[in-house]
Amino acid sequence: MNVGVVGNPSYRDLKNILAHLAQVAPRVGITLYTEEEIGPLWPEPAPPPLHRAPQLDCLMTLGGDGTLLRGARTLNGARTPILGVNLGRVGFLTTATSQTLDWALDALVRRAYVTEPRLALAPFIEDKQGRSRAEPIVLNDAVVHKGGVARVIRLRVSVDGDEVGQYSSDGIVVATPTGSTAYALSAGGPIVVPSVDAIVVAAICPHTLAVRPLVVPSSAAVTVEPIPPWTEDVLVSFDGQVGTTMGAGERLVVKRAAQPVLLVRLGPEGFFARMRKKLQWGDLSDRERK
């Protein structure tokens, strides 16, 4: 079994975990491949780089949700399951921890897991002439916002070419159901169960009480276009990790990606259980009678 490894070097335990992984993986029939950024942290000899893998059976991410999101972009639409190992605090998207790593590897080899398909988005920037440039596949969200000083901008939002309206806000979040528990939730958006085929459009700090988040079909194309003179220093962020600028006359178009992102799930814990455990959803413990 070929397993790629993506890790966040800011976690102090990563080097020890990689050493343990390098020792255990061969015993259970796993051939490891690594992203080059963490190559120096492996014991010698380090695994071959990811680009030399003939075909990955799984991608393991060692870190938090951000590392898993980066892993999804690394796959760039490939239908390779992602096993998230949480080394941080929340790890809402992950399914294992450093303490359960050996158990997770055993389950992986035995195929004793299920994959949970998550809708992904394929954003691109389009100019007035219809020329477009593709941007990275995103699992959480694409966000149009103002660079530089903090102030509102005006944006036109359309769904399948039908104008929704003009928004005066700090920005617009276009999110998947997976991303509905991230930035979109902070912007007042709803939590969308991952099995629902939908896209969330939420304004960040809208300048009017008449604006509320939208939930549109996943088949829709969502367009966000800055309105002059609010076209300078406009940025687009993808999963909050990478981004690009958007010039005058350009617009962001977000469509559903051709392939979902597959998340490995181990054990019986479901989405709502993770919400209660990791987001403290419905936690009334502070109100219990003494």
Q: What's the number of domains the chain is made of?
A: 2
Give the pLDDT confidence of 96-147 residue by residue, as tens digits: 999 999 999 999 999 999 999 999 999 999 998 989 999 999 999 999 999 8
Q: What is the CATH number of the domain that holds 138?
A: 2.60.200.30
Do residue 115 and residue 126 come from a single domain? no
Do residue 20 and residue 93 come from a single domain? yes
Q: What is the CATH number of the domain that holds 95?
A: 3.40.50.10330
Cβ neighbours, 10 Å, residue 10? 12
Do residue 102 and residue 55 come from a single domain? yes
Q: Is 170 a catalytic residue?
A: no
- DSSP conformation letters of 40-88: GGSPSSPPPBGGG-S--SEEEEEESHHHHHHHHHHHTT----EEEEE-S
Helices then strands, each counted (H, E), the chain: 5, 19
pTM for this prediction: 0.92
**Active-site entry in 13, 65, 170, 283:** 65
Cβ contact 267:88 at 8 Å: no
Do residue 211 and residue 264 come from a single domain? no
Do residue 188 and residue 233 come from a single domain? yes
Element (H, E) at 15: helix 14-24
217 occurs within a structural domain: yes
Cβ contact 173:186 at 8 Å: no
102 occurs within a structural domain: yes
Average pLDDT, the chain: 93
Stated length of the chain: 290
User: The domain containing residue 21 runs over which residues?
Assistant: 2-119+260-285
Give the pLDDT confidence of 55-84 residue by residue, as tens digits: 999 999 999 999 999 999 999 899 999 999
